[in-house]
Amino acid sequence: MKPTCILLTLSTFALFTICVGQNVTCVHDAYPPKPSLKIPTYTVNLDLPGRQRWVEITGAKKVEIANLLAVLKKFLATFGEIAEKLINFIDEKGDKFDETLPQPFADEIQGIADATGLKLGEVVLYNIFYEVFTVCTSIIAEDPQGNLYHARNLDFGLLLGWDNKTDAWEVTEALRPLIVNVNYTRSGKVIFKAVHFAGYVGVLTAIKPGLFTLSMNERFGVDGGYIGVLEWIMGDHSATWMGFLTRQTMENALSYNEARNMLVNTKMLAPAYFILGGNKTGEACVITRNRLDTRDTWEIQDAGKWYILETNYDHWKAPLVIDDRRGPANKCMKEMTQQNVSFKGIFNVLSSKPVLNKLTTYTALMSVKSGDLETWLQYCPDPCFPW
């Protein structure tokens, strides 16, 4: 198929030539990556007071967090007057804003500010950012024995500072040094495991060993995260922050069905896709959320039978022609076949361009049966799609 190329200008950021319809080459030798790309693991002790839980991690990463905040504030202000006013308000009124957040998250954010020496408002802004800017690919696949594997690419930084000298997104580059695996413990036992950007207390990728796995993908819409945050500022606290909901789900749900009910029925600040996997055959779904209710729940049996895959578009609609990661990912999954479902097989799919792109910060691999979580830094070698 001959590719069609489009010249695309994104405001003042960059000029790209995007070619669509080209042949996709599925890689087969990306796993295992170099050991230097493996993400380290820290512990968050839930028995500690909230202000003490993140001291070790964020104290070690305070320079990197400050660097990311500087980059974020530079580019978020370019998204219009409302975005700029929101940033300035939260930045300046952080003490008051933090007081409105539910516990233990308010105390944890205050503790991060104390450990890093940053203003509380800046740490609040850092945590809000993830409600509205995540672009991802998530896959749950079942091997012939019925074991479920859940994997995801976390793509982040779209439209936030393309560097023409390095051919990279500045926010994406600033995020990679902040990636950590976290074992959440209570009474000395691991309750669940998650992948974090140090300083962010919500959950985007997580596994509760033996029970369920979860990832969140951004869902774009007019009624998006900014609206929910503005409603919160105006005093309407009836909805839940997306990252707080996923964290509470990982802490409190004791089964796939309990987790599913929490994710389906809780009113939220921002729309999202929740990709949820269980511990037995057929337990996998994509929950398509509006802010206030659930639009759709898509079961693995109705998707690919042995796998289900979500990027950032409703599964019943075609993706944008300039952002079709779904088609290449499905092609590579079918080329892999169910016989090769494993960490290696799915990592190779997620390392195939344009599923792997300039926004990709990490690939996480989870096996609910073994309880294993592997997270690897990802870099997309040129030539590579900007997203």
**Angle CA 191–193–194, to nearest 5:** 135
Judging by beta carbons within 10 Å of its beta carbon (0-12, 13-18, 19+), is residue 234 exposed, middle or buried? Answer: exposed
* pLDDT score for 229: 79
Q: Which CATH number fits domain 26-40+136-377: 3.30.230.10, 3.60.60.10, 3.40.50.2300, 1.10.645.10?
A: 3.60.60.10
Neighbours of 50 (CB within 10 A): 18
Between CA 327 and CA 273 the distance in angstroms is 18
Question: What H or E segment, with its residue span, contains residue 111?
Answer: helix 105-116
CA distances (Å), origin 366, targets 79, 211, 243, 269, 347: 35, 12, 19, 27, 11
Phi/psi at 365 (5° precision): -125, 130
Q: Give Cα 2 distance to the centre of its chain.
A: 33
Between CA 160 and CA 144 the distance in angstroms is 42
pLDDT tens across the length of the chain (387 residues): 444 434 444 444 444 445 555 579 999 999 999 999 999 999 999 999 999 999 999 999 999 999 998 888 777 667 667 667 767 777 777 788 889 999 999 999 999 999 999 999 889 988 887 766 667 899 999 999 999 999 999 998 766 677 778 888 888 999 999 999 999 999 999 999 999 999 999 999 999 999 999 999 999 875 666 688 778 888 999 999 999 999 999 999 999 999 999 999 999 998 999 999 999 999 999 999 999 999 999 999 999 789 999 999 999 999 988 899 999 999 999 999 999 999 999 999 999 999 999 999 999 999 999 999 999 999 999 999 887
Would you name the residues annotated as active-site residues? 136
Phi/psi at 272 (5° precision): -165, 165
* pLDDT score for 26: 98
Task: Say which DSSP state 197 is in.
Answer: E
* pLDDT score for 129: 76
Q: Provide the residue ranges of all domains of the chain, joining segments of one domain with +.
A: 26-40+136-377, 50-129
Q: What is the pTM of this model?
A: 0.93
Phi/psi at 208 (5° precision): -105, 100
Closest CA to 208 of 228, 187, 185: 185
Sign of the Cα torsion 6, 10, 15, 21 reads: negative
- Three-class SS state of 373: strand
List pLDDT tens digits, range 215-241: 999 998 756 666 887 788 889 999 999
Between CA 41 and CA 174 the distance in angstroms is 19
Closest CA to 150 of 165, 137, 168, 164: 137
Question: What H or E segment, with its residue span, contains residue 232?
Answer: helix 225-233
List pLDDT tens digits, range 102-111: 999 999 999 9
Between CA 386 and CA 160 the distance in angstroms is 12
**In sequence order, which residues have a C-beta less than 8 Å from that of residue 50 and are 6 or more positions away?**
103, 104, 105, 106, 107, 108, 110, 111
Between CA 296 and CA 353 the distance in angstroms is 29
